[in-house]
């Protein structure tokens, strides 16, 4: 074994005091050891932080200083659900953090061995972590890597402990990991961090929302087969909490709100979870519009985190730059790995892409591949659709019986069935039936190369990636109220076995220099109702 510090009994001793006895685990930031504090005669955990040999001596020194300074700040946090930091030392030019030793495994280990936890246990874990985060945030410390692997559960007592502040950020300080690369676990990382925007306490709360889903179902709702798929799911895909989260849905949906300004706060979320443990139902937090609205959720209203604001909130990153930013993040994440991934920033059921160049394939080993999907659409005539485009009619200003006219703050109005509720998802707006059986989506954007037909054909080409089990997809050129349009119809297997196969109708058209996209997705056994909802939505759609 390579040695630093003194040698005693064949084991490494650091700072003349801590004898490293057994390696407990390894993470992205270093190695954790079981150690003996020879001065106080107790068992401790020692985290040996990784040193980048590629850094210059000056950069390595600055990194060590930042590491020690931030670890010292975390050591000032005193909370029963935050790991206790006993000491911060340097030995042989390498920083070490000495912490309490928790007799018990991580939440990730528990899920792996015994399966997901029940809803009561998830609420208990959530309460503990929310209380811990409130203390950390009040002290100006962000965790930035909340995930099941960084939550310990003490054997015997069940005490929940938030650990591994190794990539934490202290307010007013340059973070120890600030080297121009992304740090964290993508499945649990907030969209504003993915998009390169400044992060704050709400980013940790997003991660906690994903953690609650993982605790209840066994995996994060943003888990995908590739890094590109994960980034797409976090930044722009439809958010689908697992069915097991339904009793806590107001909290989960509130924490997984993409706009950090509208995300549920820690105090409100904690109060709602405590109410669930006491009464068996989620109750509201104290005083905020978000918590009051979230508390009004029922299992049949699971599709909307809370009512939309009077004016649309600006996204954390302009839509014109979101694609390049995420693509740049993906390049950084896979650089040197020799792998490639695609950012597929589409809505469920394809439709209009986010903008020119937003669908970008990048490869660390083959940079020339990055432009593979940015060329003009194919001129090949698509096969005739088995369905028919919606008729071009004069758009009524009133809603038919059984519908209501929704005047959306995103800049449009249309008739939606009674009982459908609004769920904004980044650049898209959804109106969904109870239980999300029917999903009506709308997206407004700038015109794109190839017009509506080019947009939908590019989306259809990516159909197998964006819609699992995609088949029988057909794009047909048409018109809508005299404007160029394209109609896309396809079937796919749904996002889960419980959801089952689904069918999608999608119409994209140009009008007055803008691109409009309206689609409806529904189970294959309910296509007649879906087509009615789709036709009414298209026929009544107006820009406002």
Domains of the chain: 6-100 (3.30.200.20), 107-301 (1.10.510.10), 319-371 (no CATH), 403-543 (3.40.1000.10)
- Looking at per-residue pLDDT, the higher value among 354 and 141 belongs to 141
Residue 309 pLDDT exceeds 60: no
47 marked among binding-site residues: yes
Residues 6+ apart with CB under 8 A from 143: 133, 136, 150, 162, 165, 168, 204, 207
Q: Among 287-291, 425-429, 440-444, which is the least confidently predicted range?
A: 287-291
Q: Which secondary structure element, helix H or strand E, spans residue 176, and what is its range?
A: none
pLDDT of 61 over the 50 cut: yes
pLDDT of 339 above 60: no
Q: What angle do CA 218, 219, 225 make, to 5 degrees?
A: 140
Q: Which of 351, 326, 108, 367 is nearest to 229 (CA)?
A: 326
Please confirm, yes or no, whether 58 is among the known catalytic residues: no
Band the pLDDT of 74: cuts 50, 70, 90. Answer: confident
pLDDT on residue 165: 74
Identify the H or E element spanning 22.
strand 18-27
Looking at residue 391, the DSSP 8-state letter turns out to be P
480, pLDDT greater than 50: yes
Q: How far apart are CA 525 and CA 66, in angstroms?
A: 59
Where does residue 362 rank: exposed (0-12), middle (13-18), buried (19+ CB within 10 A)?
Answer: buried
pLDDT at 52: 67
Number of H helices, E strands in the chain: 13, 23
State residue 209's pLDDT score: 97
pTM, whole model, 2 decimals? 0.53
Indicate if the pLDDT at residue 539 is higher than 80.
yes
pLDDT at 397: 57
Q: For residue 10, what pLDDT band results from cuts at 50, 70 and 90?
A: very low
Residue 129's alpha-carbon distances to 200, 204, 268, 459, in angstroms, are 16, 10, 13, 40
Residue 161 pLDDT class (50, 70, 90 cuts): very high
Residue 147: the pLDDT is 94
CA neighbor of 199 nearest in space, from 161, 167, 156, 232: 167
Q: What is the DSSP string of 323-341?
A: HHHHHHHHHHHHTTTT-EE
Asked if residue 101 has pLDDT above 50, the reply is yes
Whether the Cβ atoms of residue 403 and residue 389 lie closer than 8 Å to each other: no
Query: pLDDT at position 388, please?
Result: 62
Distance CA(434)–CA(432), nearest Å, equals: 7
Catalytic member of 87, 145, 303, 517: 145
pLDDT the model gives residue 420? 95
* Distance separating alpha carbons of residues 17 and 381, to the nearest angstrom: 76
> What residues contact 155, with CB distance under 8 A and at least 6 apart?
103, 104, 105
92-96, 335-339, 513-517: least confidently modelled range: 335-339
* Joined tokens for residue 198: 């400044």
540 or 180, which is more confident? 540
Average pLDDT for 526-531: 88
Element (H, E) at 217: helix 201-217
Yes or no: say if 161 and 51 are a contact pair by the CB < 8 Å rule. Answer: no
The reported pLDDT for the residue numbered 310 is 34
The Cα–Cα gap between 536 and 168 comes to 50
pLDDT score, position 164: 80
pLDDT band at 175 (very low <50, low <70, confident <90, very high): very low
pLDDT at site 95 = 83
- pLDDT-based confidence at residue 390 (cuts at 50, 70, 90): low
* Contact indicator for 136, 86 with CB cutoff of 8 Å: no
Tens digit of each residue's pLDDT (9 = 90 or more) over 440-455: 999 999 988 899 999 9
Residue 486 has a CB neighbour count (10 Å cut-off) of 28
Please state the rounded mean pLDDT for residues 209-238.
Answer: 91
Summarize pLDDT for 250-270 with one digit per residue, the tens. 999 999 999 999 999 999 999
Strand blocks (E) in 252-384: 340-343, 360-363
First-residue to last-residue Cα distance in the chain: 70
Residue 433 tokens read as 């039936």
Query: 323 — alpha (psi -120 to 50), left (phi > 0) or beta?
Result: alpha
Task: Report the chain's mean pLDDT, rounded to a whole number.
Answer: 76
Q: What pLDDT is recorded for position 9? A: 41
Q: Residue 171: is its pLDDT beyond 60? A: no
- β-pairing, 85-91 vs 94-100, is antiparallel
Q: How confident is the model at residue 31 (pLDDT cuts 50, 70, 90)?
A: confident
Poorest-pLDDT segment among 44-53, 146-155, 406-415 = 44-53
Question: Considering only 57-61, 98-102, 208-212, 399-403, which range has the smallest mean pLDDT?
Answer: 57-61
State the alpha helices, DSSP H only, in 218-295.
227-235, 249-255, 266-279, 289-295
pLDDT value at 519 more than 90: yes
The average pLDDT across 386-407 equals 70
């Amino acid at each position: 074994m390579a040695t630093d510090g003194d040698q005693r009994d064949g084991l490494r001793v650091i700072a003349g005091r801590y004898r490293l006895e057994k390696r407990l685990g390894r993470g992205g930031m270093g190695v954790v050891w079981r150690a003996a504090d020879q001065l106080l005669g107790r068992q401790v955990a020692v985290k040996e932080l990784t040193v980048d040999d590629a850094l210059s001596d000056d950069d390595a020194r600055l990194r060590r200083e930042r590491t020690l300074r931030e670890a010292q700040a975390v050591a000032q946090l005193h909370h029963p659900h935050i790991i206790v930091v006993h000491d911060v030392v340097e030995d042989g030019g390498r920083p070490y953090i000495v912490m309490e030793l928790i007799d018990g495994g991580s939440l990730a280990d528990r899920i792996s061995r015994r399966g997901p936890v029940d809803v009561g246990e998830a609420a208990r874990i959530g309460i503990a972590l929310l209380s811990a985060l409130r203390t950390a945030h009040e002290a100006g410390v962000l965790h930035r890597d909340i995930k099941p692997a960084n939550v310990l559960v003490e054997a015997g007592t069940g005490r929940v402990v938030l650990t591994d502040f190794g990539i934490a950020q202290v307010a007013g300080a340059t973070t120890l990991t600030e080297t121009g690369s992304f740090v964290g676990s993508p499945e649990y990382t907030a969209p504003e961090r993915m998009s390169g925007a400044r992060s704050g306490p709400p980013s940790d709360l997003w991660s906690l929302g994903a953690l609650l889903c993982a605790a209840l179902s066994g995996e994060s709702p943003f888990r995908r087969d590739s890094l590109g798929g994960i980034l797409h799911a976090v930044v722009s895909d439809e958010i689908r909490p697992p069915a097991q989260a339904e009793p806590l849905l107001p909290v989960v949906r509130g924490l997984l709100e993409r706009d950090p300004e509208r995300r549920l706060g820690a105090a409100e979320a904690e109060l709602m979870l405590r109410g669930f443990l006491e009464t068996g139902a989620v109750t509201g937090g104290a005083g905020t519009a978000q918590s009051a609205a979230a508390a009004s959720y029922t299992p049949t209203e699971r599709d909307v985190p809370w009512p939309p604001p009077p004016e649309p909130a600006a996204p954390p990153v302009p839509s014109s730059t979101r694609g390049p930013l995420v693509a740049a993040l993906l390049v950084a994440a896979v650089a040197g790995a020799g792998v490639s991934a695609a950012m597929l920033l589409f809505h469920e059921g394809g439709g209009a892409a986010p903008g020119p160049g937003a669908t970008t394939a990048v490869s660390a080993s083959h940079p020339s591949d990055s432009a593979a999907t940015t060329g003009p659409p194919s001129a090949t005539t698509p096969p005739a659709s088995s369905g028919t485009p919606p008729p071009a009619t004069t758009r009524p200003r009133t809603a038919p019986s059984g519908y209501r006219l929704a005047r959306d703050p995103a800049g449009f109005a249309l008739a939606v069935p009674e009982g459908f509720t609004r769920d904004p998802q980044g650049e898209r707006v959804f109106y969904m039936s109870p239980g999300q059986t029917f999903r009506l989506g709308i997206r407004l954007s700038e015109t794109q190369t190839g017009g509506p037909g080019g947009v939908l054909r590019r989306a259809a080409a990516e159909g197998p990636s964006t819609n699992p089990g995609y088949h029988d997809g057909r794009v047909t050129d048409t018109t809508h109220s005299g404007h160029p349009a394209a109609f896309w119809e396809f079937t796919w297997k749904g996002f889960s076995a419980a959801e089952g196969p689904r069918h999608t109708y999608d119409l994209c058209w140009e009008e007055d220099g803008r691109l409009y996209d309206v689609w409806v997705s529904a189970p294959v056994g309910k296509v007649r109702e879906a087509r009615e909802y789709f036709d009414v939505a298209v026929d009544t759609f107006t820009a406002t």
